[in-house]
Amino acid sequence: MQTLEVLKTLITYPTITPKECGIYEFIREFLPDFQVLELEKNNVKNLFLYKQLQGSGERRDLCFGGHIDVVPPGDGWEAFTPVIKGEYLYGRGTQDMKGGVAAFLCAVREFLESKTQSFNGILSILLTSDEEGEAIYGTKYVLEELKKRNLLPHFAILAEPTSVDTFGDMIKIGRRGSINGILKIQGKQGHVAYPSKCINPVEIIAPILPKIAGYNLDSGSDSFEPSKIVITDIRGGLEVVNVTPNDLKIMFNVRNSTQTNLEDLRGHLQDLLKGIPHTLELKQSSKPFLTNPNNPLIAKVVQSLQKTLQITPILSTSGGTSDARYFAEYGVDVIECGVCNDSIHAINERVKISEIESLKEAFVYLLKEF
């Protein structure tokens, strides 16, 4: 089966998080010679396929990671009926990320059928149905189990959609973390005609707000933008013009680099808020990571894109979070490489057919040279 036909088949499974819908059976049958681990937790089904290959050179265990779950389709289109229009295939998950899954499934199969003896180590595939949801019973859980079984890979590639204008122009070698915060400034409600009897939290926060809203906690680096406090919501009061607020609530997020952590943020805010009655809640929903740009995995992926596409990708850490962060937490060198990202989660999600075939070819080249 060609990559397009595999992708069309994957699209027909309505795998809205955390549903698996039998898609793993198709994948197991597509790669029948692999050992199988099926791991389930809290109704999330995960699949790990692995095969020991005896080649030459240093042992390097490589895992292709991804998710088969998708977001709901929205109204107005048949999201799970793949449709070809011109040079595009339409369907939910074509970019995010069944297109990438189809590419590495076909690449692995083609590589094994080629009988190339260069790969030395365990070649594996990790799939989850929980990436678009809570993302705690999927890849994270599987990696915990793999560590117990001494099956953690040395290297991992996630086929998330990473390209921008043309396939291969960007790969992700890291991601920023995400810290969510809620700050409440406590005051005393009162009549606006008697401000001396009020404690107005708006007036309290105003002098220090410039060191919160849009404030850079670090200066950034070659790999990361500055870790900026971004306010997402401010509210207080009764929506009337003659009563001052009793308290003020500020919600914010920091996409933090490896240069700034949660305690750095807490320290900055607590210094600003000394002597001010307040409460502060901070929660790290994901941690930042960076794979060394000189890592051999990055060099091999860049080489594969140069040889198959004549393009040198930008090494980026932009965007939101992904399951790559979990691989990094377990000491696995991880990158992300995939098709263009311009219609994910949107109605009429689509992928250029040539891109998934090119991604497959790049992965085949990588496996032969790895």
Residues with catalytic roles: 69, 131
Supply angle C-alpha 317, 321, 327, rounded to 5. Answer: 85
Q: Which amino acid is at 121?
A: G
Place of tokens 């088969």: 68
Q: What b/e readout covers 28-55, taking b as 16+ CB neighbours within 10 angstroms?
A: eebeeebeebebebeebbbbbbbbebee
Report strand pairing: 44-53 vs 35-41. antiparallel
Q: Are 37 and 144 in contact (CB under 8 A)?
A: no
Q: Residue 235 belongs to what H/E stretch?
A: strand 229-236
Q: Are 317 and 224 in contact (CB under 8 A)?
A: yes
Neighbours of 161 (CB within 10 A): 25
Q: Are 166 and 330 in contact (CB under 8 A)?
A: no
Main-chain dihedrals φ then ψ at residue 43, nearest 5 degrees: 70, 15
Q: Are 217 and 226 in contact (CB under 8 A)?
A: yes
